[in-house]
Structure 1
Amino acid sequence: MPRPWPTTEPTAAHRAAYADAKVASFWLDDLPPRDPHPPLAGTTDADLVIVGGGFTGLWAALHAKRDAPERDVVVLEADVVGGGASGRNGGFMVASLTHGLWNGLARFEDEMRTLERLAFENFEGIQRDLEAYNIDAEFELTGELGVMLEPHEAEGAEEEAALLRDYGHDVVVLDRDAMRAEVASPTYLGGVWDRNGGGLVHPAKLADGLRAAAVRAGVRIFEHEPATALSADRGAVTISTPGGAVRAARVLLATSAYPSLLSRLSHYVVPVYDYVLMTEPLSAAQKAAIGWNGRQGIGDGGNQFHYYRLTADDRILWGGYDAVYRRGGPVGAQYDDHDPTFAALSQHFFTTFPQLEGLGFTHRWGGAIDTCSRFSVFFGTAHGGRVAYATGYTGLGVAATRFGAQVGLDLLDGHETEATRLKYVRSRPVPFPPEPLRSGVIALTQRELARADRREGARGPWLRTLDRLGLGFDS
C-alpha cells in the first residue's frame, strides 16, 4: 500500500499557502531585540574557550562556571548565539541520547540500559536547570507521539510499545479510532504515545536563556566572531579570529554542522539541510477541528518522515521529509529557502489536515543538521587532550546537547566518569567516503530509503549492506 502522500505535483494553492511567508526561523524572529555581544578586539587569555554559541557550547559554558566559578570561560560565535541549528530546529525535547531506542540497540546494545538511564537523568537535569537559572523556554512535558500511516506500521505498534516499556517508558498504544480522537487526521491508522522523556521547548528562548545565565555567571561571549584557525604549543591552544585571538589552556569545539577547526571531523560529519514551515495561529474553530488537546510532539513513520507540533500560541510547525545534501557540503544563508521542499511540505500538510484548508504559513526556513553515520553525538580529543569536541547529533540533539557538553568538559578536565568509560563515548562512527563518491553514495541511499517506504519498509540489498557496515544516513 503506498504512503498517503500524493504522487501529483503540488498545486498552485499549496504554493500560495507559503508564498508570502518570511524566510526566517520563527523562533529567532520571535525573540525580543537585544544588543549583540561585541566582537573580539585583540588578544585575550582564558582558561577555557568554546567555539560555537549553540546549545552544546552554552551548556558547556554554564556548567564549566558552575563546577569552577573561578574559571575564565570565553565563547566565540560566528553569528549570533543560537543562530544555527539551535535556533532553527523543531523544539522537540526528547530524552534519548542515541537517536531513539532502536538505533541505540543496533549500535550499543550492551550499554543501552545505562544509556537510557543517563538519558532520563539528563532530561530531569534540564528541567532542574531551567528552574535554577530562571529560563522561560516554554517547556511542555507532553511526551512524544509516533503516528502510523501504513498497515504494517500499525501491526508493529504493540511490539514497539513492549520494547519501550522494557526500558522504562510509559507507553500507550492507540488504534485508528483512538488516534484520530486524539488528533484528527484521515491519514492515521494508529499511534504509540511515549508519555515520559519527551516534551516541547521554544529553542531560541532556550538558547537565549542559557546565554543570559552564562553571562550572569561571568562567561565572556563574543558574537560575529568566527574562529578561523587553531594552533597549539606547549603553553596553550590559540584560536585565531578576524578580530584577534584567544589563548586558552583548554578548547571545546561545538560547531555542529559548520566546518570544524579539526579537519579530521569532515570525514565523520556531513551537513544535511532540513526545512520547516510555520502556520499562522489557529482559530478556535480550527483548533477544535483537529483536537490535539494533549499537545504532543508528533512524528510519522517511514524513512522520509515529518515532524510537527503546536507552539504556545497554537501555530503548527511542520517540517522534515526531505533531507537535502549538496555536493561538497556547503552551509550558508543562501540555502535557507528551497521551494521544491516547501511545496512538498505544504502539500503533505493539507493531506494530513484537509480540514485546515485555507490556513497560511507565516515563516519558512531551512538549516543544516550535523549528520553522522551512527545518528548520534560522538566525542574525541586532540592536541594531547587539550582540545575536545562533541558533534554529529543528527537532528535529535536538543536534550542530548546538555549531556554532550558535560562529557566534553569531563574529557578536557581528565575526569573519568560512568559516561566517559562507555563505548558510546570512546568510539567514533564509520566515516563517510570522500567526494565525489560521498554525493553518489548519499543520493543512492536516499533513493533506496524512499523505495523502502514504497515497499512497506522492506530494505533492499544496498540498505542491508549499509546496516551491516554500521553506515547510515538520516536527518
Structure 2
Amino acid sequence: MGTTVFERQPPAASVIEHALAGTRRSVFWLDDLPDGAVGGRPKLTGDHVADLVIVGGGYTGLWSAVLAKRRAPGARVVLIEAKSIGWAASGRNGGFCEASLTHGHENGMARWPKEMATLERLGMANLDAIGAAEAEYGMDFHFERTGQLAPAIEEHQVEWLREWHAESVERGEEGVVLLDEAEMRASIASPTYLAGVWERHTNAMVHPARLASELARVAEDLGVEIFEHSPVMRLDTPGSTGAVSAITSSCRVDAAHAVLATNVFPSLLKRNRLMTVPVYDYVLMTEPLSALQLADIGWKDRQGIADLANQFHYYRLSKDNRILFGGYDAIYHYGRTMRSAYENRPESWQTLASHFFTTFPQLEGLQFSHQWAGAVDTSTQFTAFFGTARDDRVAYAAGFTGLGVGSTRFAAEVMLDLLEGRDNERTSLEMVRKRPLPFPPEPAASLGINATRWSLDRADHNRGRRNILLKTLDALGLGFDS
C-alpha cells in the first residue's frame, strides 16, 4: 500500500503538542454567539392546541416554523426542542451552505439522473433564498457566497479534477474554474496542492449557530411559540380526532399536523428507526490568524475547501479569520448509540492537527482554541429522504449526511407541501417520493459500516482504487464517494 501526503510530510510532534496545549473542549460557534442568543426559553408546561407542532429545534424545524408562518400567518405554530435551539448539528457544523440537494452531482446522477437538471435548479434557487433571507428578515448569519474549492493533494486526483471540469463545461455550468498547481498555490499557499477546481457559485459560508439563533428569533417575531428542554417522548394519533399529539413526560401539544425534524436522534416513527445511523465527526478551530499569517497563506477569496479523498478534510475561514479544520475521521459506534463520551476523541484531534500543519506548515506555532465533535445523520442515499405518516398528519425529513445546512430549507418546503397535499414540482420528485434502503440491524450494520470505512481508507492509500466491497456497493447504489 502507498502513503498519503499526510504520512509523507508530517509535522514534528512538538508542533502538534504546542498547538493543542490550551485547546478547549467547546463549540466555537456557540461560544461566539451574542449574549442571550442561547437558551432562556421556557419549558413546555400544560397542554396546548396548535395548527402545526414541530419536534426539533435545529435548521429543519426552524425553517419549517418560519416558512409555515409565511404561508399561513394566522396559524398557531408550536416548536418543541429537547435541549436548546441549535445545540446539536445545527450549531456545530462547518458552515458550508451548499446548493446541492443530492450530496453532489455524481451521487445525484447515480440515483436520479432524469431529475438532476431540476434538482440542481431547485438547489440553486434554495441557496439564493437563504442568502436573500438575511435582508428579508433582518438576519445576520455571516453569509458569504465564496464558493467551494476542491484541491488535488495526490497525483491521481489531478486527472479527476480535469474530468470534473470538462464535464461541467459540457453541461454548460457557469463559474467552475480549473486551477493548475501554480494558480492554486498563488491563491492558497499550501505545498500539498497540485491543482484545484473552484465552484464559484454553488456554496456559501455561514456562521452555523448564528443561522440557528437568527431563525429562532425570526420565528418568534412571526408568532411561533418555542419551548426548550422539553423532550417529546411519543406521537399519538387518535383515529377519531384527526389530530396528532406530541407528548412529553407531563405535557402535550395537540395539532392538526406535525413536522418531525429530529435529524440524527432516534425517530418517533418506528418505520424510520433503521433509516439513519449516527456517525461522529471531529473539528478543530484555530485562534485568529494575524495579518502576517494571513499573508503567508493567501486565501483572499475565502472559499470553503474540501479535498478529494474518501476520508476528506473540510476547512474554512471564520469572520474573525480563524481556520476551522475538520473531517477525516468518521466514527460509528455499535448499536446506533449516541453518547456525549463519543465526542471526546483525542486521537482524532491529534490526527487533524497533524494534517493541518502538513497543509499549512508556514503556520507552525499557531494554536487551536476549540475542539469539538458532533453526530451526522447518515442515510444509505447520502442525502435527505422525506415522507408522511399517520394518515398524512405527520411529515418527516432526515438523513442529510453532512450537507443539511442548505438543504434543510428545501426539506422544510417539501414537508409543508406534503402536509398541505400539494402536488407540485417538489413533491413529484422521485427523490421525495421514494424511500432509500434502510441500514441493516446489528451486528450487520456495524460490520458493514466499519468494513466500508476500512475500504475507503485503503482506497485513499491506493491511488483511489476501489476494492471489491466498494465496487459491489457502487453497483447496488450504496457506494459513497466524497
* TM bracket, shorter-chain basis: over 0.9
Q: Would you say the 8 A contact 1:430–1:470 is kept in 2? A: no
1:62 paired residue number? 66
> Of 352, 361, 372, which aligns to 1:365?
372
Q: Residues 372 and 473 of structure 1 are in contact (CA less than 8 Å); yes or no, is this contact kept in structure 2?
A: no
Contact 1:49 1:250 in 2 (8 A): yes
How far, CA to CA, are the matches of 2:68 and 2:14 in structure 1?
52
| Residue matched to 2:315 | 308
Q: Residues 266-304 of structure 1: CA distance to partner in whole angstroms, max 9, x if unpaired?
A: 211001010100000001111111000010000111100
Is 2:84 aligned against 1:80?
yes
Q: Greater CA deviation, 100-109 or 33-42?
A: 33-42
Q: Hey, what's the Cα distance between the residues in 2 that align with 1:240 and 1:9? A: 53
Q: What CA distance in whole angstroms lies between the structure 2 residues aligned with 1:244 and 1:86?
A: 26
Q: Partner residue of 1:196?
A: 201
Q: Which residue of 2 aligns with 1:148?
A: 152
SS of the residue 1:415 aligns to: coil
Residue 448 of structure 2 corresponds to residue 447 of structure 1:
no
Would you say the 8 A contact 2:15–2:364 is kept in 1?
no
Separation in structure 2 between the aligned mates of residue 254 and residue 278 of structure 1, nearest angstrom:
28
1:22, distance to aligned residue in structure 2 (A)? 1.5
Counterpart for residue 355 of structure 1: 362
Q: Structure 2 matches for 1:94-105, cutoff 5 A?
A: 94-105=98-109
Paired with 2:274 and 2:26, the residues of 1 have a C-alpha distance of 30
**Residue 345 of structure 1 aligns to a residue in which SS?**
helix
Q: Aligned partners of 1:156, 1:249: CA distance in 2, in Å?
A: 50
Partners in 2 of 1:169 and 1:250 — Cα distance?
41
**Contact 1:442-1:473 at 8 Å conserved across structures:** no
Q: Distance in 2 between matches of 1:16 and 1:246?
A: 52
Displacement of 1:474 after TM fit?
Answer: 7.5
Alpha-carbon displacement from aligned partner over 1:86-116 (angstroms, at most 9, x marks no partner): 0010001111000111111111111100000
Deviation at 1:4, TM superposition (A): 0.6
Percent of counterpart pairs with the same letter?
Answer: 52
Q: 2:20: which partner in 1? A: 18
Residue 209 (str. 1) matches residue 214 (str. 2):
yes
Post-superposition offset of 1:16: 3.7
**Deviation for aligned residue 1:161:** 1.2
TM-score (norm 2): 0.96
Tell me the matched-pair count: 475
Alpha-carbon distance, 1:265 to partner: 1.4
Structure-2 separation of matches of 1:304 and 1:380: 31
* 3-state DSSP of counterpart to 1:419: coil
Deviation at 1:169, TM superposition (A): 3.6
Q: What secondary structure does 2:324 align onto?
A: strand
- Equivalent position to 1:30, from 26, 32, 36: 32
Residues 101 and 164 in structure 1, CA contact (< 8 A), matched pair in contact too: no
Q: Structure 1 residues 473 and 224, CA, compared in 2 at 3 Å: closer, same or farther?
A: farther
Deviation of 1:42 (Å): 1.4
Counterpart in the other structure of 2:430: 423
Change (3 A) 1:391 1:10: farther
Deviation of 1:420 (Å): 0.6
Offset at residue 471 of structure 1 (A):
1.8
Change (3 A) 1:344 1:336: same
2:229 alignment partner in structure 1:
224
Distance 2:28 2:63 in 1: 23
Residue type of the alignment partner of 2:98: V
Q: Distance in 2 between matches of 1:432 and 1:167?
A: 37
Match among 247, 257, 270 for residue 264 of structure 2: 257
Decide whether aligned partners of structure 1 residues 474 and 214 sit closer, same or farther in structure 2, where only a CA change above 3 A counts: farther
Query: Hey, what's the Cα distance between the residues in 2 that align with 1:247 and 1:168?
Result: 47
Q: Tell me what 1:407 maps to.
A: 414
Q: CA deviation at 1:127?
A: 1.5
| Contact 1:50-1:254 within 8 A present in 2 as well | yes
- 1:156-171 residue pairs with structure 2 within 5 A? 156-165=160-169, 166=171, 168-171=173-176
CA drift at 1:473: 5.3
Alpha-carbon contact 2:11-2:361 (below 8 Å) kept: no
Which contiguous aligned blocks of 4+ residues in structure 1 show a shift greater than 6 angstroms?
Answer: 7-10
1:129-184 deviations in whole A, cap 9, x for unaligned? Answer: 22111110011110110000111211232220122341534111001111011000
CA drift of 1:410 comes to 0.6
Other structure's SS at 1:188 match:
coil
CA distance in 1, matches of 2:23, 2:272: 36
